Each structure stands twice: as C-alpha cells, then as structure tokens.
A = this chain, B = another copy of it.
C-alpha cells in the first residue's frame, strides 16, 4: 500500500515536471496532454486521473512552484518586523526579494501565466493572489509592526508595502518579463540599485 502510494506520488511529480518543461518551452497552447504523457512516460489516462485536464495541470504546476518560492519568503518578511538594525536588514531583504523575483524559472512561469491571462483569467487571478498579493500583504504586516515599534512612520501600511516592494523590484520585474530575469540581473549593479531604493523609502517613512 505504501509502495503503491509512493509510485503514484512519483508519477504525479514526473507529470508535473514534464508539464512544466513543455509548457515553458512551447507555451500552453503549443503543448498537448499527449506530449506531456509521452514525456512523462505515462498514459494519457494517467495524466487525466491525476489532474483532470490541461488547465488543472497548469494550475497544479503554478501552485507547486509558488509554494516553494513564495512561502519561505513570507517568513523572511515576518522576521524583518523584529529587526534591531532596520536599514541593514531592509537592504538584505530587498536583495533577496529582487533575486527571488528575477530567478529564471519564476520569470518564465510568470510569462506563461500572463500570456494566457486573456483565456485563463481564473488562473491569472489565482497567481496574483498567491504570489504578488501575498508578498505585499506580508510586507504590509511588517510595516505595521515597524510603525508600532516606532522604527517607521507609516500612515497606511499597504501603501508603504507597495512603495517598498516596487522601488526594489518594479523596473526589474517589468524588464525581466520582456528580456529575461538572468539578463536583467547580469546587467545591473544590484547593491547600488537596492541602496537607492531603500534610501528613498527611508527618506519618506523614517520617523521625523
């Protein structure tokens, strides 16, 4: 029984991996369930048994990718609220956030979801809610706490969260959607970029 479950879980993982590779290489519309089944060396029936249909398979791939990239980061944001050296820790977190957002596979998956947003609006909404919106919510909670501790003066935590996040990743993620995350990272001076964003943020939100 345990062995049978193990085999099923392995098949599921193999289908997810094959699906992600094919979707990223050929697009959602350019990929068939037949191709995914062949690449995963399972029958088409097995794909349908695990995932229902092609759209649900893409949803599962997105869920899995977000779970492994977004969730650990939320803890990092929560930890910032208890900092003893705000500028230094804000700078470190900004660098981590930028690198996470610009990672090659993250950008490619974003492109895939954005490219299908006209035809699969629920998937796109789900992606937004589970990734950018969750990160912004965690930043907002963190800003509230830093305000309560007297380290920042933040009249509206959601606005401050948005300002911080998009001073750090705004231009970079926008450019990465067109030019690719690794290329954007390679072309920029990350430290200098981060420091300039953090400096402007603190100029506006440090208690006077």
Contacting pair A178 B29 (CB below 8 A): no
Interface residues of A (CB under 8 A from B): 24-27, 29-30, 108, 110-119, 121, 124-125, 127-128, 132-133, 136, 156, 159, 162-163, 165-167, 170-171, 173-175, 177-180, 193, 196-197, 199-201, 203-205
Q: A128-B175, A170-B162 are in contact. Are A118 and B108 (CB under 8 A)?
A: yes
Contacts of A128 in B (CB 8 A): 175, 178-179
Residue of B nearest to A29 (CB): B29
Cα of A159 to Cα of B168 in the assembled complex, Å: 11
User: A117 is contacted by which of B30, B177, B199, B203 (Cβ under 8 Å)?
Assistant: B177
Q: A174-B132, A179-B125 are in contact. Are A118 and B113 (CB under 8 A)?
A: no
Residue of B nearest to A128 (CB): B178
Cα of A118 to Cα of B25 in the assembled complex, Å: 7
